[in-house]
Amino acid sequence: MLSKRIIPCLDVLNNQVVKGVKFQNHRVVGDIVELAAHYSQQGADELVFYDIDASTRQSGVSPQWVSQIAKTINIPFCVAGGIRSIKQAYAILNAGADKISINSPALERPQLINELVATFGQQCVVVGVDSNLVNNEYVVCQYTGDSKKTLQTTRSTLDWVKEIESRGAGEIVVNCMQQDGVKNGYDIMHLSAVTNSVNIPVIASGGAGVMAHFDAVFAKTSVSGALAASVFHSGYIAIPRLKQYLQAQNHIIRV
């Protein structure tokens, strides 16, 4: 059985790390490179960087800060934000990222998933899914980096994750929007439905508030990893202590 991954998420806005609640009211929490180095030293398994307004401003991620991260840390990291072409993906991977993630661009043109997989391989391609509960059904949202431009699509989340898998993506990150930043725990029911629908790795995102929430999502779903932001940025949960706790709960954790 593979180790469960602990993944700090760094939302990037104007080249600074920010954090919001339910994808709104973002505040600056630190410098990209300094936080990346901190989490690498703390024992994070991976890092994920989301340039949260790249899609809405119709531009891609800047390879400059990606290159700085690659020179600073020695753990895998994934970069997302407005990647709409092979050329943009190549620039990010060539700058040192291990994976690229697409979200709104995949909804705009699903064939992009196929093209990225064919060019770079399945292991490099992650698709993010921003999912919200609407009238007792989970639906996919788009352009969530800017609350004024966020769109609720007509796509069912479960239908979309199945399509993502069929197009060859190597991993899915499910962002449960109603849980984002509120620290009430991961959406176990939703994540269980997603992991039961696909056979590729699924990463849980949205809702971590205490260490027991990580235990619950690993015990009650088959997610491959848990992503969190504010509990790590604030120092409320230290990664070494979290890993020790999860090992004590009999989870397979890389230390």
Which residues are tagged catalytic?
11, 130
Which token pair is 159?
């239908």
Token pair 């970069």 is found at 79
One-letter-per-residue 3-state SS of the chain? CCCEEEEEEEEEECCEEEEEECCEEEEEEECHHHHHHHHHHHCCCCEEEEECCCCCCCCCCCHHHHHHHHHHCCCCEEEECCCCCHHHHHHHHHCCCCEEEECHHHHHCCHHHHHHHHHHCHHHEEEEEEEEEECCEEEEEECCCCCCCCEEEEEEHHHHHHHHHHCCCCEEEEEEHHHCCCCCCCCHHHHHHHHCCCCCCEEEECCCCCHHHHHHHHHHCCCCEEEECHHHHCCCCCHHHHHHHHHHCCCCECC
**Residue 151 CB coordination number (10 Å):** 11
